[in-house]
Amino acid sequence: MALRRSREAREFTQGQVAEALDWSLSKVQRIESGEVTVSGTDLRALLAYLDVTEPGTVEQLARDARASRRRGWWDQPGYRAHLTPATMQLLQFESQAVAIRCFSSTMVPGVLQTRRHADAVFAFWNREISELSDEQRDTRLEVRMRRHEQVFGREEPPAYLLLLDESVLHREVGGPEVMAEQLQQLLENVTAGRVTLRIVPFSRAAVVAMLGAFVLLDLDVEGDTVLYRESWLRDEMVHASEAVNRHRWMFDEMWRHSYTEEKSVLLLEARIATLRASLER
């Protein structure tokens, strides 16, 4: 992100950078998107071309580049072989984010899912779509379970704002027992202060229907934000400021028109009670 900002400040295109440094255009694009790390030699050449010479800035970027080459647990071969590039980036950004805003119109997001709930989701893909092998499913399930601790278990966890469509409470993924357990865990995360929840009322269904699930991750207090979008078994990480700003505006609008946190908790508690009562009949 810092490299992209420096390039844009000089009003250079990615193509101009690639031509000047005798790189491929895809190399510049992948460095700026975070798909690949940048070596120390390439970093120095790039900074010189962008006229970034202030010693403190250069040293900080060099440290950042070295840090980016340190692999997280998700970059082990056993995980990497079964995860998409966007998911790999999501895991890295989740470990660093200072704030996360998540909107979901279909189910509780993966980072907050219980094992049984997540297992029911993956079982659907295997039963109905058959796009995941058993090994892929097991790996993705394990990764999903580790994400919660990675996000909420660190010393300074991010502020996590969750927008759920009201229909999510009534969609019994895995059956009433699994769903009651899932909503209870969500409630515990909310009451513990790890998650701030607002529920989008049914009256906003027309707006919700036009949106897919998305996550906005603020990586620092200076406003560096990335957008993660997921649909079916496909996902993508978006860095373009126009798309990021548009989704941030949509999130803020829905947040403003949703039930308050207090009302949302009451709805969540009521739904848990209804599910548990159905199990006692």
Q: SS3 sequence, 139-156?
A: HHHHHHHHHHHHHHCCCC
pLDDT score of 172: 92
Class of domain 2-68: mainly alpha
Phi-psi region of 119 (alpha: psi -120 to 50; beta: other; left: phi over 0): alpha
Counting as low any pLDDT under 70, the low residues of the chain are: 69-70, 126-131, 205-209, 221-223, 232-233
pLDDT score of 186: 98
Contacts of 92 (CB under 8 A, 6+ apart): 34, 72, 74
193 backbone dihedrals φ, ψ, rounded to 5°: 85, 5
pLDDT score of 206: 61
Fold of 73-279: Endonuclease; Chain A (3.30.870)
Q: Where are the domains of the chain?
A: 2-68, 73-279
pLDDT score of 124: 77
